Chains A and B, each alone.
Chain A
Amino acid sequence: MKVEDLGSGVFRVSHEGRQDLIYVAGPTGRRWAFWCGQVFREESFAEAVAPRRGRHAGLQPVSAPMPSTVLKILAQPGQRIAKGDAVVIVEAMKMELPLRASADATVRAVRCREGELVAADVVLVELE
């Protein structure tokens, strides 16, 4: 399989008389590629996936999926909540997004305030 860098993120891959154009961008190790309407991310297919930060036995953080505003906190520390219950409602791009518990749990800590602007992946509520 022959790979040619055509510049500007465009690569030609030739194999057995067939060729494909693939678009590639991003930092080494975290590159993205576009081929035939599909996007492939290098890191998603890496051999070993590093364990995610802040995740250890019994502790399940509810975190912001993207930069957003905390609209409403629906859980208090010590409260028992059931799987699927909304814990926090955040707002991004004018849409409300309820963040729900992925299992039955007890609220250990609330790490945000209503009205607060939070970055992506920031832990908002700790569940146990």
Chain B
Amino acid sequence: MELTRLLVANRGEIAVRVIRACRELGIESVAVYSDADARAQHVLVADRAVRLGPPPPTESYLSIPAVIEAARATGAQAVHPGYGFLSENPAFARACERTGLIFVGPPGDVMARMGSKIDARALMQSAGVPIVPGDTPHDQSDEGIRRAAERVGLPVLIKASAGGGGKGMRRVQDASALLEAIQAARREALAAFNDGTLYVERLIDEPHHVEVQIMADHHGAVVHLFERECSVQRRHQKVIEETPSPLLTPTLRAQITDAAVRAARAAGYRNAGTIEFLVEPTAHDGDARFYFLEMNTRLQVEHPITESVTGVDLVHAQLAVAVGRPLPWTQDALTQRGHAIEARVYAESPARGFVPQAGPLWLVREPRLPGIRVDTGVAEGDQISVHYDPLIAKVVAHAETRVAAIERLTHALHAFPILGIETNVPLLVAILGHSAFREGRVDTGFLDREGRALVDASVPTALPDPVRAVFGASAPSAPVTYRTGISSRHDWDPWATLRRGTA
């Protein structure tokens, strides 16, 4: 079957990225938007755009009827869900299947099984994939969860069965904090996933987060595209990711990728997915232990680093597999070449407890450098809204070696001015310069331990002379340099040119 029109059921950088793939493949793209996003970048780069509803996600990007109707009205044959929003909602995948729409992802029932973290753990255990020791209480009351935590033994993680992205998850060190943590996790899980089911896991001490990208087709082929190390996290939100992992030995890499393929086969998986593992490092090579953490049944935020080192396009492959074509590559054809690192740029204030920021982007100039890829869904003059995820850009550096990739990424961040909204860019620069990161020995607790010092070090305490000189110079000719609206997009946005050429 030939795919000619695709609806992208998402917003921001991932919608822009999927629409770019459509353009490269000659597929017509349909964007969807809420009233807050009527002039957002993902809307401007698409061939068609359909309004879903008011800004709150439940009335727009999370509304299954609205998205399905948008696909029907525009004659789209397939829907790409991106990540977040409806991407891991089995009801949405099934609604697409019922309506005769191709859902670019796994079948709804596979997603449901892997989306329940509790069922996924049971399935992995039966497939011989190691899991973190834990307890899933039938008694879901506060008392039931509390007793489960005591059975597992503190410290523990309280986790939402439907969870992801750190939402509905609480780390508990001592018994006095248990009740507040259980209630907060349940409230957050209910709000985010409409499912408050919780389970308890032993807290693995200072683990690395290593995940494996896999891809499966309708014809029984399952391949892995190696690992990504995502240990730089703040409260389970990834901040910097890289591949290859500095922790894995060739032996461990073979074991963990093999386990990932086994896991995908056991799940009857199709399309792109990621198996996340916790790796407990030890002093002796080959002695490190890894545990299945969860499976993400969608494209990951950090997929570009895998694309950089393997040289493949995962979205192209997703679209091919979705219409029943075989995987474009065999396992033997896939290799890791060089090193890639991604830094996530968040609209947040590290100095004020990482509160998300909303407001106008006065000035944004993306770095344009060899070996640097910037995936973003915003541009100068746009408004960052309070309604959605604070991720505004991903900067990916690819180079021959890890050291060269770190230098390249640092340089790119030095050349990425964002004014009007506070971001974590100064913090990203500080992390890349930290000795623990440079030496590749960062575990998932690193940012929570070192974050305060890194933030303090990245907040300027005095004006450097050149900046003082600029502020001191006569007032700028135009008092306010930010603009609203779309009329004045700059020439650094290649989409503007591309769109004019093909419209």
Which A residues are within 8 Å of any B CB, using their own CB? Answer: 1, 3, 5, 8-9, 11, 13, 15, 20, 22-28, 31-40, 42, 45, 65-68, 71-72, 91-97, 120
Residues of A within 8 A of B416 (CB): 37
Q: Report Cα–Cα, A54/B124, bound state, in Å.
A: 56
Q: Is the contact region of chain A dominated by helix, strand, or loop, or is it mixed?
A: strand
- B: interface residue count bin: 35 or more
Name the contact of A13 in the complex, choosing from B387, B460, B470 (C-beta under 8 A).
B470
Q: In the complex, what's the smallest C-beta–C-beta distance from A38 to chain B, in angstroms?
A: 5
Residues of B within 8 A of A24 (CB): 363, 419, 470-471, 476, 481
Q: Which 10 A-B pairs have the closest CB atoms?
A: A34-B417, A25-B362, A23-B417, A25-B363, A13-B466, A37-B414, A25-B419, A3-B473, A67-B386, A32-B419
Per-position 1/0 for B180-192, Cβ under 8 A of A: 0000100110011
Closest to A44 in B: B460
**Docked-complex contact B469 and A3, CB < 8 angstroms:** yes
Q: Report Cα–Cα, A28/B460, bound state, in Å.
A: 20
Name the contact of B458 in the complex, choosing from A15, A38, A45 (C-beta under 8 A).
A38
Closest to B410 in A: A37
Residues of B within 8 A of A96 (CB): 184, 187-188, 191
Q: Report Cα–Cα, A37/B343, bound state, in Å.
A: 13
Q: In the complex, what's the smallest C-beta–C-beta distance from B125 to chain A, in angstroms?
A: 31
Name the contact of B466 in the complex, choosing from A8, A9, A20, A39 (C-beta under 8 A).
A20
Q: Known interface pairs A34-B417, A67-B386, A93-B386. Does A1 touch B466 (Cβ–Cβ under 8 Å)?
A: yes
**Docked-complex contact A93 and B167, CB < 8 angstroms:** no
**Docked-complex contact B167 and A26, CB < 8 angstroms:** no
Q: Report Cα–Cα, A20/B187, bound state, in Å.
A: 50
**Docked-complex contact B414 and A36, CB < 8 angstroms:** yes
Q: Report Cα–Cα, A32/B184, bound state, in Å.
A: 37
In this assembly, does B425 line the interface, its C-beta being within 8 Å of a C-beta of chain A? yes
User: In the complex, given contacts A3-B473, A25-B481, A38-B426, what are 6 additional A-B residue pairs having Cβ atoms less than 8 angstroms apart?
Assistant: A23-B363, A26-B419, A28-B476, A32-B420, A39-B460, A94-B57
Q: Report Cα–Cα, A32/B480, bound state, in Å.
A: 11
Per-position 1/0 for B89-114, Cβ under 8 A of A: 00000000000000000000000000
Q: Known interface pairs A9-B481, A26-B419, A28-B475. Does A1 touch B365 (Cβ–Cβ under 8 Å)?
A: no
Q: Report Cα–Cα, A83/B277, bound state, in Å.
A: 38
Residues of A within 8 A of B119 (CB): none
Q: Report Cα–Cα, A1/B472, bound state, in Å.
A: 11
**Docked-complex contact A25 and B465, CB < 8 angstroms:** no
Interface centre among B358, B413, B420 (most CB of A within 10 A): B358
Q: Report Cα–Cα, A37/B417, bound state, in Å.
A: 7
Per-position 1/0 for B386-422, Cβ under 8 A of A: 1111100000000000000000001001101111101
**Docked-complex contact A9 and B363, CB < 8 angstroms:** yes
Residues of A within 8 A of B191 (CB): 71, 91, 94, 96
Instruction: Offer 28 A-B interface pairs, CB within 8 angstroms, sorted by A.
Output: A3-B470, A5-B476, A5-B477, A24-B363, A26-B420, A26-B480, A26-B482, A28-B476, A32-B420, A33-B470, A33-B471, A34-B419, A35-B466, A36-B414, A38-B429, A39-B422, A39-B423, A39-B425, A42-B471, A45-B462, A45-B463, A65-B353, A67-B358, A67-B386, A93-B389, A94-B389, A95-B188, A97-B355
Q: Report Cα–Cα, A5/B470, bound state, in Å.
A: 9
**Docked-complex contact A23 and B365, CB < 8 angstroms:** yes
Residues of A within 8 A of B462 (CB): 45
Q: Report Cα–Cα, A69/B386, bound state, in Å.
A: 10
Q: Report Cα–Cα, A35/B465, bound state, in Å.
A: 11
Q: Report Cα–Cα, A92/B355, bound state, in Å.
A: 9
Q: Report Cα–Cα, A39/B352, bound state, in Å.
A: 15
Q: Known interface pairs A35-B464, A66-B357, A66-B358. Does A22 touch B420 (Cβ–Cβ under 8 Å)?
A: no
**Docked-complex contact B365 and A38, CB < 8 angstroms:** no
**Docked-complex contact B352 and A35, CB < 8 angstroms:** no
In this assembly, does B467 line the interface, its C-beta being within 8 Å of a C-beta of chain A? yes
Q: Report Cα–Cα, A35/B417, bound state, in Å.
A: 8
Q: Known interface pairs A66-B356, A96-B184. Does A1 touch B465 (Cβ–Cβ under 8 Å)?
A: yes
Q: Report Cα–Cα, A42/B410, bound state, in Å.
A: 25
**Docked-complex contact A27 and B467, CB < 8 angstroms:** no
Interface centre among B352, B363, B388, B390 (most CB of A within 10 A): B363
In this assembly, does B479 line the interface, its C-beta being within 8 Å of a C-beta of chain A? yes
Q: In the complex, what's the smallest C-beta–C-beta distance from A118 to chain B, in angstroms?
A: 11
**Docked-complex contact A39 and B386, CB < 8 angstroms:** no
Q: Report Cα–Cα, A4/B466, bound state, in Å.
A: 11
Closest to B471 in A: A42
Q: In the complex, what's the smallest C-beta–C-beta distance from B389 to chain A, in angstroms?
A: 6
Q: Report Cα–Cα, A73/B89, bound state, in Å.
A: 31
Q: Report Cα–Cα, A62/B192, bound state, in Å.
A: 25
Q: In the complex, what's the smallest C-beta–C-beta distance from B380 to chain A, in angstroms?
A: 9
